[in-house]
């Protein structure tokens, strides 16, 4: 554990919980203000994952430099097989529920190929398409960051801003973007700055931690202000369901230093929970991949006689979150004891003293 950074384990664990919160509260957001606030406040989840991906790649490279070939082998080996496995699992699940191929194996295999290419087997797998693009770009971005850091930050900021504004205008009916084979949310431009800022911050970790600790009130105020902007935008706009909005962009960039500061302050308090937080961080990719399956099965319980209202209202929503999290973690704990865990996106269980 000594080589791990507690604050960044906390961020990854929080991001994993936030992703679950988005998916669980989505069905309640228009019916209850508490659900709406939780849904919007969790919109920083995917941006946090992207920021942390950039940060951890550079942090790892600082300790263990890799050739471009070895980088691609290691990173794609880590995510490609789980992506294929889970695409097959979710494609089978959809076929079980919807019978889109009508039992025609060739038609199902054709659909599976399309899902693999576009990340459309289930609603969350588009994120892996983003990851693949960013991994492909990483060696080039790393080179540019070393030679032209400010130019890269500025250019990536402008690219992401323009992309997010165009997608938001399209979602709200202001413009109509041309149709593509991929969802716009699965293309890298709108996520590029999150990734680059994470890479850049890896070189200033100690300075950033020191600066945040000395300006905690300012950081908290900025975070709360960005949250208010996000909620107003979501309430007034038609794209509350999207994480590609100007308000989410501002909120995500403001929430990262706030959550990092929170994690730094919580480290002494949560020292005894360090192992479990590190475990959640290690398994965050597996949590991301598995929890929609658990959520889907739990939602089917409403068809059981006498259980139709089991997930109704805020108590039902909180119970659904607790059940989804608990079952997901239990399944991951069990699978982590088997050789299958790596193929599903998890990390084998390690014993710590």
> In a structure prediction context, what are the per-residue pLDDT tens digits for the chain, which is 353 residues long?
346 788 999 999 999 999 999 999 999 998 899 999 999 999 999 999 999 999 999 998 888 888 999 999 999 999 999 999 999 999 999 888 877 777 788 888 898 999 999 999 999 999 999 999 999 999 999 999 999 999 999 999 999 999 999 999 999 888 999 988 888 999 999 999 999 999 999 999 888 988 998 899 999 999 999 999 999 999 887 788 899 999 999 999 999 999 999 999 998 898 888 889 999 999 999 999 999 999 999 999 988 888 888 999 999 999 999 999 999 999 999 999 999 999 999 999 864 43
Q: Which pLDDT score, from 0 to 100, does residue 352 have?
A: 42
Residue 244 and residue 185 in contact, taking contact as beta carbons nearer than 8 Å = yes
- Candidates 189, 323, 310, 237; CA nearest to 43 is 237
The crossing angle, in degrees rounded to 10, of helices 149-171 and 192-201 is 150
Q: Which pLDDT score, from 0 to 100, does residue 3 have?
A: 61
Q: Which pLDDT score, from 0 to 100, does residue 122 have?
A: 94
Torsion of the alpha carbons at 14, 45, 188 and 8, rounded to the nearest 10: -20
Contacting residues for 155 by C-beta, under 8 A, at least 6 apart: none
**Whole-structure pTM value:** 0.93
Q: Which pLDDT score, from 0 to 100, does residue 1 have?
A: 37
Residue 318 and residue 34 in contact, taking contact as beta carbons nearer than 8 Å = no
Tokens of 146: 């070393």
Give the Cα separation of 341 and 334 in Å (integer): 9
Q: Which pLDDT score, from 0 to 100, does residue 225 have?
A: 98
Alpha-helix runs per DSSP H in the chain: 6-25, 33-41, 45-63, 68-98, 105-118, 126-147, 149-171, 192-201, 205-214, 216-236, 246-266, 274-282, 284-299, 313-335
Q: Which pLDDT score, from 0 to 100, does residue 353 have?
A: 38
Give the Cα separation of 74 and 182 in Å (integer): 26
> Measured in whole angstroms, how far is the alpha carbon of residue 195 from the centre of its chain?
12
Integer angstrom CA distances of residue 309 from 70, 302, 316, 325: 52, 7, 8, 20
């Amino acid at each position: 554990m000594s080589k791990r950074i507690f604050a960044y384990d906390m961020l990854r664990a929080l991001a994993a919980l936030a992703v679950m919160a988005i998916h669980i509260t989505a069905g309640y957001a228009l019916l209850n203000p508490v659900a709406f606030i939780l849904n919007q406040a969790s919109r920083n989840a995917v941006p946090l994952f992207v920021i942390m991906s950039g940060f951890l790649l550079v942090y790892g490279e600082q300790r263990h430099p890799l050739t471009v070939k070895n980088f691609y082998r290691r990173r794609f080996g880590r995510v490609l097989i789980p992506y294929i496995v889970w695409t097959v699992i979710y494609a089978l699940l959809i076929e079980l529920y919807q019978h889109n191929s009508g039992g025609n194996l060739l038609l199902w295999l054709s659909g599976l190929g399309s899902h693999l290419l576009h990340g459309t087997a289930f609603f969350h797998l588009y994120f892996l398409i983003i990851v693949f693009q960013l991994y492909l770009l990483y060696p080039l971005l790393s080179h540019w960051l070393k030679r032209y850091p400010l130019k890269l930050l500025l250019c990536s900021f402008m690219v992401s801003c323009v992309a997010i504004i165009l997608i938001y205008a399209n979602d709200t009916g202001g413009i109509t973007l041309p149709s593509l084979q991929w969802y716009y949310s699965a293309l890298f431009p709108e996520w590029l700055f999150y990734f680059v800022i994470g890479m850049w911050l890896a070189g200033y970790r100690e300075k950033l931690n020191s600066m945040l600790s000395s300006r905690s009130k300012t950081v908290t105020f900025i975070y709360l202000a960005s949250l208010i902007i996000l909620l107003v935008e979501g309430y007034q706009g038609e794209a509350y369901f999207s994480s590609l909005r100007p308000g989410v962009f501002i909120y995500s960039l403001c929430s990262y230093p706030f959550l990092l500061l929170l994690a730094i302050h919580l480290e002494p308090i949560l020292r005894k929970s360090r192992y479990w937080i590190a475990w959640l961080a290690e398994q965050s990719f597996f949590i991301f991949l598995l929890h929609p399956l658990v959520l889907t099965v739990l939602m089917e319980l409403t068809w059981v006689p006498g259980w139709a209202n089991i997930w109704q209202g805020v108590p039902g929503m909180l119970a659904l979150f607790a059940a989804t999290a608990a079952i997901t973690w239990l399944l991951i704990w069990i699978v982590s004891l088997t050789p299958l865990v790596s193929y599903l996106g998890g990390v084998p269980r390690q014993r710590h003293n």
